[in-house]
Structure 1
Amino acid sequence: MLPLCVECGTTRNPCRCRVVGPTLGFLAFALAAVVEWPVGALVYPFRHMKGRRIMAHPAAVVYPSVSSAIPI
């Protein structure tokens, strides 16, 4: 089953709703999280801030950049 994310109230398109961008952003977030969260968990005991940055990367960088790249 494909997740469907909807963002309404935006002024980026005439429909005022976005479906494709947030959905692809979520899928990219999930894919990045599967890789980066275990790596961050391994790094965290030795370098706390570096591990936290690695684990935050999908939410802080991947999702917003993919979601905002597609206006629909």
Structure 2
Amino acid sequence: MAGGIGVPLCVQCGTTSNPCRCKVVGPTLGFLAFAVAAIFEWPVGALVYCFKHAKGRRIMAHPVTVVYPKVTNAIPI
């Protein structure tokens, strides 16, 4: 019985940033960066949300609105 942890693989098709019109490396690294940022920022955001709702929401949304798009768009393949 073979078992193990698989590597997440994200594919984005229909882009104009490369001749193949598909991206694999950028979205995959973007997802991994999103996951790492979320592990740290979501608990902090939840704690801040108890006192300042708007600030807590911005902190919890940061991995989705800033980290993932910046990493994904920085790598054209």
TM-score by length of 2: 0.92
Q: Distance in 2 between matches of 1:41 and 1:12?
A: 36
Structure with bigger gyration radius: 2
| 1:25-47 residue CA offsets vs partner (Å, 9 max, x unmatched) | 00000000000000000110101
Give the aligned partner of residue 54 of structure 1.
59
Structure 1 unaligned spans of 5+: none
Letter in 2 for 1:18: K
Question: Is 1:63 aligned with 2:68?
Answer: yes
Note the 1:29-40 alignment, pairs <5 A. Answer: 29-40=34-45
Moved over 2 A (4+): none
Give the aligned partner of residue 25 of structure 1.
30
The alignment yields a C-alpha RMSD, in angstroms, of 0.4
| 1:40-65 residue CA offsets vs partner (Å, 9 max, x unmatched) | 00110101111000000000000000
Q: Distance in 1 between matches of 2:27 and 2:42?
A: 21
Q: Distance in 2 between matches of 1:11 and 1:55?
A: 30
Aligned length: 72
SS of equivalent residue, structure 1 residue 4: coil
Structure 2 unaligned spans of 5+: 1-5
Q: Percent identity?
A: 78
TM-score by length of 1: 0.98
